[in-house]
Structure 1
Amino acid sequence: MKRKLTICLLLALIFYIGNAKAEERGSLEELNELSDTVFQMTRQSQYDEALQVLGYFEKKLKAAEKSPANQSLSGAQIRQITLGFNDMERSLKQTDTSDSEKLRAAAQFRMLMDAVKNQSDPLWGSLEKPIMETFSALKKEVQENEKTNFHEKWNEFISLYDLIYPSLTMDISIDQLDDVGKHIDVIEQEAFQHMTVSTKLERLSLLQKDLKSVFDRVEKDDADPSLLWVILTTGGIIITALTYVGYRKYRAEKNKLKKRDYPK
């Protein structure tokens, strides 16, 4: 009798765990698909419809937070998703936000949710080529002492990095992102312009090396070329007036999470 009872309890436990994992996968999959729907609607300038989908996304996110089956969403992840959601909603609601800025916010939100769900082939990895290619241009401008062109290329790089930074916080360790951030801070300082050419090139190479190590963890085969095409060919989406603001905001939030010892 005891043996039968034990077997029944084990079967019930297995059934419960199986259902919980299925529910967990299902809710994450749905949130990911909803972010893609928001992206596609924003791409087609269907902003009211995109806002309606965002409203449904918010309800599903709150349900996932409360569900005991969805323990894979850590406090850090929920906080970053909420930040991305708020940015997306604000962008769609503001009438003075340009179409390109709305699409940029949608692309950023799309990649963030994809990073939460996909561990091996996140969409942010599809921006490796345009990001890493900027270093050749930056080094060339340093060697030719073209400060104006350097700043233009640097803004392009920062804008692209800002685009994927929220997604990076889902996949890359805090220490690794801090290393990249420290290199960026040095190059952002006025003192950088007074360094020798060799020192500037060294600083850029250090940043390039650390960024390469970030992208090296991504499997390249399944990156979505259509998303990359939209991001890079839509006028004004690469460089906007909000350049670098988003990166600093997410970095500050990540540091707060680190101090509070949230699980990664």
Structure 2
Amino acid sequence: MIRKVILCMLIALIFPACGLKAGGDPAALQELNELSDTVFQLTRQTQYHEAVQILQYFEDRLKAAEKSEAEDVMTATEIRQVTLAYHDVLKSLEDKETEQTDKLKAAAQFRMLMDALESDHDPLWSSLKKPIMDSFQALKAGIQKEDGMTFQEKWNHFLSLYDTIYPSLTIDVPPKQLKSVSSHIDVVEHGDFQQMTESSKLERLTALEKDLEDVFNQVEEDDADPSLLWVILTTGSIILSTLTYVGFRKYKAEGDRRKKREKDWPK
């Protein structure tokens, strides 16, 4: 009971001017954005029960926006995006089987999505430009050294970072531009990529790199929220280590089978 009272007081202190007003009051979107940050901070501190309570309050405010003339606050499409993200993070936080890193990633995605909706410039997702763009140097090096294992490790790391900011990109980046990025990713993901020549692989990666550079150049870089960036990079490294281990076992098994075939092949 005491915990609930404290939580209510916290909400009242942080958001004294509650209420999504008709006509596109910018304070309405700001309130939702600040609530998403509170959810993220509580998740980071593993206070999942409190984070869920804030999410439930967030849902009330979002419903108020839907009932009001909220087109100037969020479009119907954006409200659907936020609703989906809300349910994703809520499900993650309420599921006791979900790993802490997955809860953090869901909360980080939710946080950056709301920030992208409110921010006219310097969105949080832009702070990941350096780690994402730097990853291409390692990807190209893996190709040039013909080191398939290193390339796959770095590619998985890139994908985990891109996946984290993707929901936010759908708010700030034109669909045609995102589709172009996705098409390049699909090419690298396809099994035929490994059969290409080195020059063709590098050409594909360079095209993807340029498209992503164009995406980030649309906004000015923001000073990263240290806690958010730390969570994203830590989550990415944990995902990377897991995928690396699985990939290594697969890579080793394929190598063993190849050696056995060569040994058994009649001389």
Contact 2:140–2:205 under 8 Å retained in 1: yes
Aligned residue for 1:104, secondary structure, equals helix
Q: Which residue of 2 aligns with 1:91?
A: 92
After TM superposition, list the pairs within 5 Å mapping 1:175-186 onto structure 2. 175-186=176-187
Inter-partner Cα distance in structure 1 for 2:60 and 2:104: 23
1:194 equivalent in structure 2:
195
Moved more, 146-155 or 157-166: 146-155
Aligned to 1:42: 43
Matches within 5 A, 1:135-174: 135-174=136-175
Distance 1:69 1:78 in 2: 10
CA contact (8 A) 2:92 2:103 kept: yes
Q: Identity, % of aligned pairs? A: 59
Q: Map 1:13-162 to 2 at 5 A.
A: 20=22, 24-162=25-163
Tell me: higher relative CO, structure 1 or 2? Use CA pairs within 8 A at least 6 residues apart.
1
Q: Structure 1 stretches (4+) deviating beyond 6 angstroms?
A: none
Give the letter aligned to residue 155 of structure 1.
N
Work out the number of aligned pairs and report it: 223
1:126–1:225 Cα contact (<8 Å) kept: no
Q: CA deviation at 1:225?
A: 3.2
**Alpha-carbon separation, structure 2, partners of 1:225 and 1:181:** 28
- Distance (whole Å) between structure 2 residues aligned to residue 238 and residue 214 of structure 1: 24
Please tell me whether residue 211 in structure 1 is matched to residue 220 in structure 2.
no
Which segments of 5 or more consecutive residues in structure 2 lack a partner in the other structure? 1-20, 244-267
How far did 1:24 drift?
2.0
User: Tell me, what secondary structure is at the counterpart of 1:134?
Assistant: helix
**Aligned-residue offset at 1:230:** 2.9
Rate the CA distance shift 1:69–1:80 in 2: closer, same or farther, 3 A: closer
Mapped partners of 1:90, 1:24: distance in 2: 30
Q: Which moved more, 1:216-225 or 1:185-194?
A: 216-225
Q: Give the distance between the partners of 1:233 and 1:49, measured in 2 at CA.
A: 23
Indicate conservation of the 8 Å contact 1:231/1:238, yes or no: no
Structure 2 residue matching 1:73: 3-state secondary structure = coil
Query: Structure 1 residue 148: deviation in Å?
Result: 1.3
State the match for 2:264 in structure 1. Answer: none
Secondary structure in structure 2 of the residue aligned to 1:68 = coil
List aligned pairs for 1:218-257, cutoff 5 A: 218-233=219-234, 238-239=239-240
**Deviations 1:183-220 (CA, angstroms, capped at 9, x unpaired):** 00000000000000000000000000000000001111
Measure, in 2, the Cα distance between the counterparts of 1:175 and 1:64: 29
Residue 248 of structure 2 is matched in structure 1 by: none
Per-residue deviation, 1:152 = 1.0
Provide the rounded CA distance (Å) in 2 between the counterparts of 1:68 and 1:33: 21
2:40–2:107 CA contact under 8 A, matched in 1: yes
- The whole-number CA distance in structure 2 between the counterparts of 1:183 and 1:234 is 24
Instruction: Look up the equivalent residue of 2:221 and give its one-letter code.
Output: K
Q: Structure 1 residues 61 and 240, CA, compared in 2 at 3 Å: closer, same or farther?
A: farther
Measured in 2, the distance between the counterparts of 1:46 and 1:206 equals 43
TM-score (normalizing by structure 1): 0.80
> What is the CA–CA distance in structure 2 between the aligned matches of 1:41 and 1:84, rounded to whole Å?
17
Q: CA deviation at 1:28?
A: 0.3
**TM-score, normalised relative to structure 2:** 0.79
Q: Which moved more, 1:161-170 or 1:146-155?
A: 146-155
Return the letter of the residue paired with 1:186.
V
RMSD: 1.9
| In structure 2, distance between residues paired with 1:170 and 1:207 | 20
In 2: Cα distance, 1:66 partner to 1:239 partner: 43
Question: Which residue identity lines up with residue 194 of structure 1 in the other structure?
Answer: Q
